[in-house]
Amino acid sequence: MIRLGLDIGGTFTDIFALDESTHEIFTFKIPTDPAALHQSAIAGIKKLFTNLKVSSHQLRYIAHGTTVGTNAVLQRRGVKTGLLTTRGFRDILEIRRLTRPPEMLFNPLETPPEPLIPRYLVKELDERINYRGEVIKPLNEDQVLQTVEELARQGVKSIAVCLLFSFLNPVHEQKVAQIIKNSFPGISVSLSSDVLSEIREYERASTTMINAYIAPIIQSYLETMVKEIQDLGLHKDRLYIAQSNGGLTSTTTIMKRPITALESGPAAGAVAAKLLGDILNFKNLIAFDMGGTTTKACLIIDGSPRVTLDFSVGGKTSTGRSSRGSGFPVAVPMIDLAEIGKGGGSIAWVDENQLIRVGPQSAGAVPGPACYGRGGEEPTVTDADLMLGMLNRNKPLGGEIYLNYDKAEKAVMDKIARPLGFNSIEAAAAVYKITTSNMADAVRLISVESGYDPRDFVMVCFGGAGPLHGWLIMQELKVSRMVIPKYPGLFCSLGLLAENVVHDYVRTLITEVNRADIATLDEIFHQLEEKGNEDLQADGIPESKRLFFRTLDMRYVGQLYYINTPVKEVRLNDAVQRFHRLHEHHFGHSFPENSVEIVNLRVKAVGLLPGISFRKEARGKRSPRDALSGKRKVCFPDSDLVSCWVYERSKLVAGNLIEGPAVVEQLDSTTVIPPSMVAEVDAYGNLHVQRD
């Protein structure tokens, strides 16, 4: 049987297939069609069938990572959405929180992004449920119908419903949904009690807003995907969708809560980095993923990717706790990724102050960078990489696209060099350095600003452009070792095959620890685990392959925010001590004498899938010279052109040592090794880059 990881990126669609019987691996890339992403996915599946001469019944499952939802939010291309809320709370999306990210603290002209739902589409309902979950003002059903009719006339295609204290009693929200479905079946409905059934009104409203905003787009995409794979002879149950929490789930689950797939593709990269760390016995890693459109960074601490309950999307930087206020809160469990709008296709430009900027605008796959020769005229990071000699002008990128040096040089000269009085190489080097510096800042955001020293970590660089820029980030952050995986440009699609089925559940119960009733807590945990059993049963996961993990959201009495704290059984004393230690680590202090309270109970239900393993190769007898494919000049920033040996990575064997300066080329990526560093191939085919 064959398992398939399918990751659709902004430039390429990546395919990583594993034959379970022979452990053979098959990889390839195809250009992404931005206008019809599902066609790129289906083309990848068909190419797999053709190349391997296999049929649909030999495919165990497809694990699919998609950025459809993320792109809809970042590009503000979701459907027209309305919000129904309790009377008196119409401005909840406008008021937000008082927290401001660093870039707004000292710039009064810097403003947060406009809500995805404009104020005129936010309507109030006459109803009220109190803090005990008791109905103190019944829902006016006639008013609901009139209000929805008004939204429908205004062209609304999706409605978010977020009523006060619905996480304690969802009866009013459920009635609103019933009225909408009966009278306006064409309008999509997202209930906060389904999307995020927990305390914190603004975060619940924001998360439900995004869910409603992307729901029709995700649902349409998945319905098309399911139909297409059924036409290929595959049952829809064999299509798993990657979630932002690093797990897989069914298409049915994602259609109900598309918010959980917001960062599904990038999260798979963090899972792959964790797998690599397990194999190489590295517990603390920086996962650095630079693709064609965006760059993502994530920390893996003690062998586990950091997970946040306070992600922010749609701002200048999408990330977790470190940048509250920069975008829209998403309070579902997500791998804590720092994401910036800079990748190989990011456009370089000169601002009104004659400063070079890079991104967030991207040339995308069409027309793409100027060097693609598809009509693009704006200079991009890829154009700069080509001009500096880091990319090969005589070999097709991804095996598909030949790069045109003259077009790259013209774009850089016309838009960057000439306006600033530079020559073209100086301009390209400046673009390279600025891009890399911005990406180093993203790594600092999830490390230094969260209390971690990058020097204590090993950096894993992947994505099509990650190994091109990794060495300079490594140098800037003083990281001692960088690992380039065997398949860097396909690493996220590999990670999809390392994921398990995951479901997250939450229940709010605010109580001081010293007053908590153990039996009540245990009963709630059992109820959440029972729900997990039902969902894993529906996913076809046998009982012997199910795991459950309990956590408590805890805080000191009087605090607003909480820390998610693991708990075994219901041993509250152990959980409190663990909370004090976590508070000390995150904030530099703790208050062991203060009372601690529980806010939420959480359960993570995991259904174990086969996973993925790699063969260990014996130390090879071939010399690195046997892998040489030529020589070319490369311009490293702040230096002159340097003559570099070029190696074919597929011909390198375990134990080969390469001294910089050098370039290592492969189908899915290119690795640059500067003069001051050396690279060694390990027994699994990974490149370890260190200072000489």
Joined together, the tokens standing for residue 574 give 């152990």
Q: In which band, very low, low, confident or very high, does the pLDDT at 335 lie, cut at 50, 70 and 90?
A: very high
Ordered by start, the domain boundaries in the chain are 2-72+219-261, 79-208, 501-607, 624-691
pLDDT, greater one: 23 or 408: 408
Q: Calculate helix-pair angle for 466-477, 424-446, nearest 10 degrees.
A: 70
Give the whole-number percent of the chain exceeding pLDDT 90: 65
Residue 231: Cβ within 10 Å count: 10
pLDDT, greater one: 339 or 283: 283
Q: What dotted CATH number matches 79-208?
A: 3.40.50
**What residue has token string 């001294």?**
659
Joined together, the tokens standing for residue 81 give 């959405």
Q: Which residues contact 572 (CB under 8 A, 6 or more apart)?
A: 513, 516, 518
Query: Which pLDDT value is given to residue 319?
Result: 45
pLDDT (mean) for 177-189 = 96
Q: In which band, very low, low, confident or very high, does the pLDDT at 291 lie, cut at 50, 70 and 90?
A: confident
Is the bond preceding residue 367 a cis peptide, omega within 30 degrees? Answer: yes
Query: Which pLDDT value is given to residue 100?
Result: 67
Query: Which pLDDT value is given to residue 20?
Result: 85
Residue 684: Cβ within 10 Å count: 15
2-72+219-261: CATH, from 3.30.420.40, 3.20.20.70, 3.40.449.10, 3.30.2390.10: 3.30.420.40
Q: pLDDT for 414-446, tens place per residue? A: 999 999 999 999 999 999 999 999 889 888 888
Q: In which band, very low, low, confident or very high, does the pLDDT at 34 lie, cut at 50, 70 and 90?
A: confident
Query: Which pLDDT value is given to residue 586?
Result: 82
Handedness of CA 535, 249, 614, 232 (dihedral sign): positive
Residue 280 has pLDDT above 60, yes or no: yes
pLDDT (mean) for 197-207 = 93
Give the whole-number percent of the chain exceeding pLDDT 70: 97
pLDDT (mean) for 669-683 = 94
Q: In which band, very low, low, confident or very high, does the pLDDT at 69 lie, cut at 50, 70 and 90?
A: confident
Q: What average pLDDT does the structure give for the chain?
A: 90
Do 221 and 80 contact (CB within 8 A), yes or no? no
Query: Which pLDDT value is given to residue 318?
Result: 47
Q: pLDDT for 37-48, tens place per residue? A: 888 888 888 888
Query: Which pLDDT value is given to residue 130?
Result: 95
Amino acid identity, position 656: N
Handedness of CA 388, 393, 398, 401 (dihedral sign): positive
Q: pLDDT for 105-155, tens place per residue? A: 677 777 778 899 999 999 999 999 999 999 999 999 999 999 999 999 999
Q: In which band, very low, low, confident or very high, does the pLDDT at 407 lie, cut at 50, 70 and 90?
A: very high
Q: How far apart are CA 484 and CA 29, in angstroms?
A: 18
Handedness of CA 176, 179, 182, 185 (dihedral sign): negative
Question: 537-559 burial, b for 16+ CB within 10 Å, e for fewer?
Answer: eebebeeeebebbbbbbbbbeee
Q: Residue 625 burial by CB count (10 A; 0-12/13-18/19+): exposed, middle or buried?
A: exposed
pLDDT, greater one: 455 or 106: 455
Given this chain, do its domains 2-72+219-261 and 79-208 carry the same CATH topology? Answer: no
Nearest-5° Cα angle at 25, 20 to 27? 135
Query: Which pLDDT value is given to residue 320?
Result: 45
Query: Which pLDDT value is given to residue 321?
Result: 45
H helices of 154-283, in order, are 171-183, 192-195, 201-231, 251-256, 264-280
Least confident of 72-76, 320-324, 664-668, 687-691: 320-324
Query: Which pLDDT value is given to residue 398?
Result: 65
Residue 336 has pLDDT above 80, yes or no: yes
pLDDT, greater one: 264 or 167: 167
Query: Which pLDDT value is given to residue 635?
Result: 93
Q: In which band, very low, low, confident or very high, does the pLDDT at 607 lie, cut at 50, 70 and 90?
A: very high
**Secondary element (H or E) of residue 418:** helix 418-420
Q: How far apart are CA 196 and CA 209, in angstroms?
A: 11
